[in-house]
Chains A and B, each alone.
Chain A
Amino acid sequence: MAAATGPARWHRNLSAKIAAIPMIMTALVVFIGGTAWTVLYSFTSSKLLPKEKFVGFAQYERLWSSSKWLISIENLAIYGAFSLIFSLLIGFVLAALLDQKIRFEDTFRTLLLYPFALSFIVTGLAWQWILNPDFGIQQVVRNLGWENFSFDPLYNPDIVIYGILIAGLWQGTGLIMCLMLAGLRGIDEDIWKAAKIDGIPMWKTYIFIIIPMMRGIFITAIVLIASGIIKVYDLVVAQTGGGPGIASEVPAKYVYDAMFLSQNLGQGFAASTMMLLTVIVIVVPWAYLEFGGKRRG
């Protein structure tokens, strides 16, 4: 805005350019360079150390025939779909409840948001303990008389990902609630009055008027939740370690294990490139919708 006038000589704004060196280096070397490097080396047969022996799509073929990777993808899809739906639903309902001009709003908000301040490791370990079949919820209910009650998601390969989902939702819905609440607060009071005068019931006002008006907030929330889903790693490590067996593996853990535990760099690069591809598939249409038509400076 300010300093863009005058002759553009190289030493113009020299201090600013020098000060921006860390940013330029991060952008060019780490973000672009690092990404390009990983994608390039995903086509090599690198094992313990990266080496330039190109093998085409061999790593990808191996990746997609590995049962661990297929389970990771399936888990990510289940976790992702449910996490997206429930985060939005719970977040919105809680925000709508908090928006009813209630007392103790700050107290409720503080209590609902505090899990977000905790790390995924703490979250995972806390829920690992609560879902422990010998001492946790299952045992408590059995002690109450229902001897055959069974609720052990972390030890049952079929439902383990839902055990992780419970913990993930507990940690993350508070943030979505806060976003939604900010969105609801941005809506003009007159809209509510007009709807009331027309006799439209409250739930209809929310679904047909308020939610369409909060499109921007919803998109932000979805992008936020989606990028969190793809990153999910620490939660699984803490809560199940990928088990029982390989039932709760996720892509981010597959990458880490391949690179740092099983000395299989090529697989790690290929898997992380697939993760990048997933993000591109999600982010590009969004960026196109958001910034495509108009240029925002």
Chain B
Amino acid sequence: MGNVTRASADVQVSPVSQEMTGPRGPKPRTVLSRRNIMIYGTLIMVSLYYMLPLYVMIVTSLKGMPEIRLGNIFSPPVEITFQPWVKAWAEACTGLNCDGLSRGFFNSVRILIPSVLLSIAIASVNGYALANWRFKGSETFFTILIVGAFIPYQVMIYPIVIMLREVGLYGSLTGLVIVHTIFGMPILTLLFRNYFASVPQELFKAARVDGAGFWGIYFRIMVPMSLPIFVVAMILQVTGIWNDFLFGVIYTKPDLYPMTVQLNNIVNSTQGVKEYNVNMAATILTGLVPLTIYFISGKLFVRGIAAGAVKG
């Protein structure tokens, strides 16, 4: 089909080129056609606009305060200094603590690792049970779970505060891990259920005949066969949990605050002189983990959000 249209286009072009004394043959596709200039021009302009905040953050974080007061935010630093980065990481103050964002970073790591592992473990088992071991009512619970994903968090935060307080976990990292597991469950369960449902049933039946049970099939067949979806789930959860602010501020105490909460407290603190370069260094530091994941994972990241979004 493609060849036919190409050929007919050539026929239309050839009489023109024969009249001219110049080069013969089909009209070459110029790189600088009007259409291309428009498409690439627009895309380059928009990309520059999207890059702008990152660029401004980086150049601001490398300038000294006197230069920021005099110059404009778009100009590159005249004298590059890494002092703001050091200060943001190790010295910036929130309240009485002056040990910088490093505290928030390590809190976030301590929240992130168990939350990601627990939420993926539970959701993958859920998805597996829903896809391969349906029981009476399992679809109902799944429907509730999916509908629950649309309920605004604000409706459920206080009852969870009460429940966590009852078991003595309110204000602890464990409590926050449980909260992340709960709110990550709908989307992850959906992700795993859809994936496991596409695994050939024959494999499952053969394993059943060989006497493998629920956990045997899960660990020896499903998990090894589904590593890509585990990676997608991990990307989804790492960026989601790292970027969380609401749950962090509600369910932990000031010295356990995750990085996002501490960053906001540092930058929006009303005390002291505003140090914009330190603020921007701190902001980049907080964005660094999800950005690294994003640039490394590339297409898998897109697949993760697409799986999360489209199949809902």
Kindly state the separation between the CA atoms of A100 and B148 in the bound complex, as whole angstroms.
39
Instruction: Return chain B residues, CB-CB under 8 Å to A22.
Output: 122, 126, 181, 185
Instruction: Return chain B residues, CB-CB under 8 Å to A238.
Output: 245, 264, 267-268
Smallest CB-CB separation from A287: which chain B residue? Answer: B147
Cβ of B101 within 8 Å of any chain A Cβ, yes or no, is: no
Min C-beta distance of A99 to chain B, whole Å: 10
B interface residues, tally (CB under 8 Å): 96
Please determine whether A121 and B154 come into contact, CB atoms closer than 8 angstroms. no
* A276-B242 contact, Cβ under 8 Å, with A20-B141, A108-B47: no
Please determine whether A129 and B214 come into contact, CB atoms closer than 8 angstroms. no
Cβ of A150 within 8 Å of any chain B Cβ, yes or no, is: no
Chain A 5-36 near chain B by CB (<8 Å), digits 1 or 0:
00010001101110110111011111111110
Please determine whether A272 and B152 come into contact, CB atoms closer than 8 angstroms. yes
Q: Which of B142, B160, B268, B312 interacts with A34 by CB under 8 Å?
A: B160
Kindly state the separation between the CA atoms of A17 and B133 in the bound complex, as whole angstroms.
9
Kindly state the separation between the CA atoms of A159 and B278 in the bound complex, as whole angstroms.
28
Kindly state the separation between the CA atoms of A237 and B5 in the bound complex, as whole angstroms.
56
Cβ of A45 within 8 Å of any chain B Cβ, yes or no, is: no
Interface 9-residue window, one of B19-27, B50-58, B85-93: B50-58
Cβ of A252 within 8 Å of any chain B Cβ, yes or no, is: yes
Cβ of B276 within 8 Å of any chain A Cβ, yes or no, is: yes
Cβ of A165 within 8 Å of any chain B Cβ, yes or no, is: no
Q: Which of A117, A143, A251 interacts with B72 by CB under 8 Å?
A: A143
Instruction: Return chain A residues, CB-CB under 8 Å to B155.
Output: 34-35, 38-39, 272-273, 275-276
Please determine whether B243 and A16 come into contact, CB atoms closer than 8 angstroms. no
Chain B 264-287 near chain A by CB (<8 Å), digits 1 or 0:
100110000000100110010011
Instruction: Return chain A residues, CB-CB under 8 Å to B128.
Output: 19
Within 8 A of B (CB), among A251-280: 251-252, 255-256, 259-260, 265, 268-269, 271-273, 275-276, 279
Please determine whether B279 and A129 come into contact, CB atoms closer than 8 angstroms. yes
* Consensus secondary structure, chain A interface: helix
Count of A-B contacts judged by CB separation below 8 Å: 272
Instruction: Return chain A residues, CB-CB under 8 Å to B50.
Output: 111-112, 114-115, 170, 174
Cβ of A97 within 8 Å of any chain B Cβ, yes or no, is: yes
Cβ of A77 within 8 Å of any chain B Cβ, yes or no, is: no
Cβ of B125 within 8 Å of any chain A Cβ, yes or no, is: yes
Kindly state the separation between the CA atoms of A152 and B143 in the bound complex, as whole angstroms.
46
Please determine whether A178 and B159 come into contact, CB atoms closer than 8 angstroms. no
Most buried by B among A16, A182, A237: A16
Q: Which of B131, B181, B309 interacts with A179 by CB under 8 Å?
A: B309
Please determine whether A233 and B39 come into contact, CB atoms closer than 8 angstroms. no
Please determine whether B302 and A27 come into contact, CB atoms closer than 8 angstroms. no
Instruction: Return chain B residues, CB-CB under 8 Å to A29.
Output: 163
Cβ of A55 within 8 Å of any chain B Cβ, yes or no, is: no
Please determine whether A252 and B154 come into contact, CB atoms closer than 8 angstroms. yes
Min C-beta distance of B15 to chain A, whole Å: 20
* A275-B154 contact, Cβ under 8 Å, with A19-B129, A178-B302: yes
Smallest CB-CB separation from A31: which chain B residue? Answer: B148
Cβ of A98 within 8 Å of any chain B Cβ, yes or no, is: yes
Chain B 239-281 near chain A by CB (<8 Å), digits 1 or 0:
1001111100010000000001001100110000000100110
Please determine whether B156 and A35 come into contact, CB atoms closer than 8 angstroms. yes
Cβ of A289 within 8 Å of any chain B Cβ, yes or no, is: no
* A30-B268 contact, Cβ under 8 Å, with A22-B122, A179-B309: no
* A31-B145 contact, Cβ under 8 Å, with A19-B214, A118-B290: yes
Min C-beta distance of B155 to chain A, whole Å: 5
* A125-B283 contact, Cβ under 8 Å, with A33-B159, A117-B301: yes
Min C-beta distance of B160 to chain A, whole Å: 7
Smallest CB-CB separation from B60: which chain A residue? Answer: A129
Smallest CB-CB separation from A177: which chain B residue? Answer: B46
Kindly state the separation between the CA atoms of A111 and B294 in the bound complex, as whole angstroms.
11
Q: Which 4 A-B pairs have the closest CB atoms?
A: A119-B243, A31-B148, A15-B214, A16-B133
Residues of B within 8 A of A (CB): 1, 5, 39-40, 42-43, 46-47, 50-54, 56-57, 60, 68-69, 72-74, 122, 125-126, 128-136, 138-139, 141-142, 144-145, 147-148, 150-160, 162-163, 181-182, 185, 189, 197, 201, 204-205, 213-215, 239, 242-246, 250, 260, 263-264, 267-268, 276, 279-280, 283, 286-287, 290-291, 293-295, 298, 301-302, 305-306, 309-310, 312
Instruction: Kindly list 6 other residue pairs between chains A and B, CB separation below 8 angstroms, not including A38-B156, A122-B263.
Output: A16-B135, A19-B129, A27-B145, A132-B73, A220-B312, A268-B158
